[in-house]
Structure 1
Amino acid sequence: MQGDYLFYLQIGWLMAGIFFIIFNLSYWYDRTWLRNGIWFSLFFYTFWADVGLTIIASGNNAIIFPVGFLFLFLLFCIAAIFSLQAILLLWNAAIVWRRESHSLANSLTLYLGILIVIMPFVVSLINQHLPTFWAALLITFPGLCVLYAIFWFYNYLTVLVLYQAYWPRHNKDFIIVLGAGLMNGDQVTPLLAQRIDKGIQFYQKQRQKNGKTPTIILSGGQGGDETVPEGEAMRRYAVSHGVAESDAVAESASRNTLENMAFSKKIIDASGVNKPKTIFVTNNYHTFRAAMFAKAAHLKASGIGSRTARFFLPNAIMREYIAIVMRQRKLHLIMVVLMFIFALFWAILTAHSDWVAGWLRAFQNFLNNL
């Protein structure tokens, strides 16, 4: 028995090693793949399961009991967060409601919190008042869609966190700062100022570290309610905060993140720098999706993120997730159709469980008579 346990433990460590290698190869090849989150999660949970099983196999109670207590405490914390998620979402929604505009984009935590609160009551009403077929269909199909959305949201959160673990070398030729809208027509917003400040910080640190002066590209076009292009307002801000005028270039034609990357690449290509080294700067929640756009624009650049107010993050992260899902909407639509077909099949089986039981008995009798 002990030998079998050790054999399976060795298999577990081997699997963790394989997942670790696959994750590193995949992440090294392309940091913008959502599948990286799957490989990392497989490695992460396999690794810690192996650690726990190895501790148990050691038979050392001085280690087993403290680690077991810590494990149970972590499980309790996770369970508490999940059980209180509706309250936490509504609490965040109340803070955002006081500090931000009451737009749909800023109300996602409000709607999600309300949905979580009313869902048990809706499910109960469906079970009580609808025929078995419709109850099974209306519960199974949305349930599958929710599980599917949670699966990809978890992977997105994983790769978003992993993407923050990037500490670029101070050898860059270009720093692209992405625009984020102006206030009062020509003034940099606090959120946009954070991005520019992050770019200036990297610019100054690189100059101090090795004397190499990068060019900062301030990228942003002009919105309908803006009197000047974002790029120009950003450039003024950067120059007023210590960047030499000759080192700051405004890109003022872009209307979205893809154009930020594409038009900035044109400026870089026109500079004549051989094999330019580039980074881009945006808010931390936006780095991963911005990297996707950099890849789409054939711009070889990774991103660093400026800090974002914590109360702002839940809505911002959900907006980013929805935008990423929409980039692959055909794939997700196919999956939704397949889930509907499965739910329909399951509803038919549930509504006619007596038929299914009869078929199973007949099949069992057939096997017995062979």
Structure 2
Amino acid sequence: MSESLPFALVALLVAAPLLLTAVVCWVTARRIRREPRRLSNAYWLLAAALLLGNALGVLGIVGTNPVVATVGLLLVLSPLLALVFAAFLIANGVVMLRRERVSAGNSLSLLLGLLIVALFAFSASVLLAGSLWLRAVWLVCVLAVLFLSFQFVAFLGYARLYTWLVRDQPVEWVVVLGSGLRGSEVPPLLASRIRKGMAEFARRGARTLVMSGGRGDDEQLPEGEAMRRWAVDHGADADVVRAETASRNTEQNLRFSDALVRGERGPGGAGTGTGLIVTSDYHVFRASLLARRLGVDAQAVGAPTAGYYWPSAVLREFVALLREYRVINAVLLLVVALPLPLVVVLAAS
């Protein structure tokens, strides 16, 4: 009896994580299959990946536990990796500001790089000062960084997976989102979107191609019309290309384009079918989330973006998502970052 008890306990300790892993993986796959346009899918997927790696280690399939090994390696190398990452972000930020206009959004990679360097400087001062309260503040900062890093990895990883999940889905209509003109000229970023839209329209057998964008204060004509002309000049069939020219932001792009397509298909928009949103690669996942929130039946794909532009653009999208879900993110941040430092302070008091 005494010998069977430890065996049963060990079996339970092994079986429980495996059962939890199986349940989480099943729920994750089901959620993604039913509706890929959900931000929560990103966190389910990351949790499933961590549990699966742990399960493989428990079963001895991959030798040492890959999750523990990876976390340990990252902890050892994290200072060096963080400094290399900071140097890359600062260099990218300088290039970004040289090639693009100076703005908060275009400065994100530079600002994040400087923030990482500042955190290292703060860490050094904490070690030298030896103040309990200063160490508590430092611990809050570290936990907040870890929380945001988890969020960012989940967002970036699932955004990549999302583009793969919807790569071959047949659609009835395609809408290309505007990104701004230079006077009346289509700039390279927008041209990349239009080319992608034309290619997806032909590849997926769609029936309507919508160019969506209103007229900005410094633009000589509505963006949708300039995009339509560019597409026709580059081989698109004028009979299937439509211009939506009233929108001023992404939400209006989707609402007005959906209404335009529905209006052409008769009363109630019968036979409208699934649509495809074409935007830049960094904007794909957030555009798909917005489409779901608006009730627009459309997935999203991305056109390639210049390498120097991508880091700041992705950070801008991530910050926008944090802002859109600011209440729940603020609550989670407080739950993650405050309890442990408070315990440390109280225990030392």
Same topology, TM > 0.5: yes
Q: Which residue of 2 aligns with 1:21?
A: 26
Q: Which residue of 2 aligns with 1:235?
A: 228
Q: Which residue of 1 aligns with 2:54?
A: 49
Percent of residue pairs bearing the same amino acid type: 28
The counterpart of 2:303, out of the listed 283, 302, 306, is 306
Q: Any conservation in 1 of the 2:82–2:116 contact (CA below 8 Å)?
A: no
Q: Give the superposition deviation at 1:177.
A: 0.6
Alignment RMSD: 3.2
Q: Which residue of 1 aligns with 2:107?
A: 107
Q: Any conservation in 2 of the 1:166–1:304 contact (CA below 8 Å)?
A: no
Q: Which residue of 2 aligns with 1:145?
A: 144
Q: Which residue of 2 aligns with 1:191?
A: 189
Tell me how far apart the structure 2 counterparts of residues 32 and 229 of structure 1 sit (CA, whole Å): 30
Q: Which residue of 1 aligns with 2:89?
A: 89
Tell me how far apart the structure 2 counterparts of residues 5 and 239 of structure 1 sit (CA, whole Å): 69
The counterpart of 1:297, out of the listed 286, 294, 298, is 294
Q: Give the superposition deviation at 1:81.
A: 3.8
The counterpart of 2:198, out of the listed 200, 208, 218, is 200
Alpha-carbon distance change, 264 to 125 in structure 1, aligned in 2, over 3 angstroms: same
Q: Any conservation in 1 of the 2:137–2:341 contact (CA below 8 Å)?
A: no
1:122 aligns to 2:122 (yes or no): yes
CA deviations 1:57-114 (Å, max 9, x no partner) are xxxxxx869x99xx78x95797564452212222322332443333321221111111
Number of matched pairs? 335
Partner secondary structure for residue 182 of structure 1 = coil
Alpha-carbon distance change, 262 to 78 in structure 1, aligned in 2, over 3 angstroms: farther
The one-letter amino acid of 2:122's match is V
Q: Which residue of 2 aligns with 1:156?
A: 155
Q: Give the superposition deviation at 1:323.
A: 0.6
CA deviations 1:291-339 (Å, max 9, x no partner) are 1211222101101111122222211111001111111222233445556
1:220 aligns to 2:218 (yes or no): no
Q: Which residue of 1 aligns with 2:312?
A: 315
CA deviations 1:244-303 (Å, max 9, x no partner) are 111011111111111111111111221224242211111111111101211222101101
The one-letter amino acid of 1:101's match is R
The two structures have a TM-score, normalised by structure 2, of 0.83
Q: Which residue of 2 aligns with 1:252?
A: 245
Q: Any conservation in 1 of the 2:39–2:289 contact (CA below 8 Å)?
A: no
Tell me how far apart the structure 1 counterparts of residues 46 and 332 of structure 2 sit (CA, whole Å): 22
User: Which consecutive residues of structure 1, in runs of 5 or more, have no partner in the other structure?
Assistant: 57-62, 208-212, 355-370
Tell me how far apart the structure 2 counterparts of residues 110 and 317 of structure 1 sit (CA, whole Å): 13
User: Which consecutive residues of structure 2, in runs of 5 or more, have no partner in the other structure?
Assistant: 1-5
Q: Which residue of 1 aligns with 2:275?
A: 278
Structure having the higher Rg: 1
